[in-house]
Amino acid sequence: METKLSYKDNQVIISPDQPFKIIGERINPTRRKKLASSMAAGDFSLVQEDARLQVAAGAHILDVNAGVPGADEPALMRGAMQAVIEVAEVPLCFDSANPDALKAALEHYPGKALINSTTAEEEMMGRILPLAKEYGAAVIGVITDDAGIPATPEDRLATAKKLIDRAADYGVPKEDIIIDALALTVGADHNASRVTLASIALIRRELGVNINLGASNVSFGLPDREYINTAYLALAIANGLTTAITDPTKQEISLTIMACDLLMGQDEYAMRWIRAYRKRNQA
């Protein structure tokens, strides 16, 4: 199963047969007051700095969120998109539940983008999936529905299947749906990670689709989060995770993902690992 994204001639393929793909999470004003205030003022210099840093650290795709409270989100999304493509030639993931904001970016984006995201709620699918069809975008499908968060791996599989089937009704093919298996904090439920990991393995086995996580959610509210996040990523990759929204500028994250690629047979003769080691030593 290959989910293909692009920016102009630069194509990125998300697939279990490819190295793991990182979606850089930093262009998001939530809980980042300085970034939010600069974006609200029409200043996208910090957006561009985050874009450069993440690509240099290994991000294959950049998530772009323009959700500043009280601001014109469509205008900010379009401005952020234009600012990012001035400095980074990687595919973009537009992060909003606002169809107008998504459209403002998608209609000017030179390539195949990723939409973050829709749930399996009928109202949400009816807003987002037509945009994916119109602009040829792929979509992250978060497996919650009108009944809430499915409690078991089997229920999450059923919700993922429902989402994929409804996407097909709108003309969005299965390969363009990346299922988000729901990373919930273990600080609130010590079984949350176990259920998600089992869901990833089940959905990969039964549906074959690519799978994403907002990986850092698992450690929310806990100390020493970096250790939890890296262990979680390694376990999730072993169970079939093919992409994650995370922060590649944190070396423990990027090195863990690179080591997983090596151990999963996605780094021939360990060449990427060795090149990265030499680059770190030179720096």
Give pTM, 2 decimals: 0.96
Instruction: State yes or no: pLDDT of 82 exceeds 90.
Output: yes
E strand residue ranges, 53-147: 61-65, 92-95, 114-119, 138-142
- Dist. CA 109–CA 120, nearest whole Å: 26
pLDDT the model gives residue 118: 98
Residue 31 pLDDT:
84
Q: Quick one: pLDDT at residue 283? A: 79
58: left (phi over 0), alpha (psi -120 to 50) or beta: left
What percentage of the chain reaches a pLDDT higher than 70?
Answer: 100
- 191 pLDDT more than 90: yes
Which CATH number is associated with domain 3-282?
3.20.20.20
Residue 248's pLDDT is 95
Q: Return the domain boundaries, the chain.
A: 3-282
Beta-carbon count within 10 A of 112 CB: 20
pLDDT band per the 50, 70, 90 thresholds, residue 220: very high
The pLDDT confidence band at residue 77, using thresholds 50, 70 and 90, is very high
In the prediction, which pLDDT does 215 show?
Answer: 86
Neighbours of 89 (CB within 10 A): 13
pLDDT for residue 205: 97
Alpha carbon separation from 180 to 13, 119, 142, 144, 199 (Å, rounded): 17, 9, 5, 9, 10
Q: What is the per-residue pLDDT for 95?
A: 97
What percent of the chain lies above the pLDDT cut of 90? 98
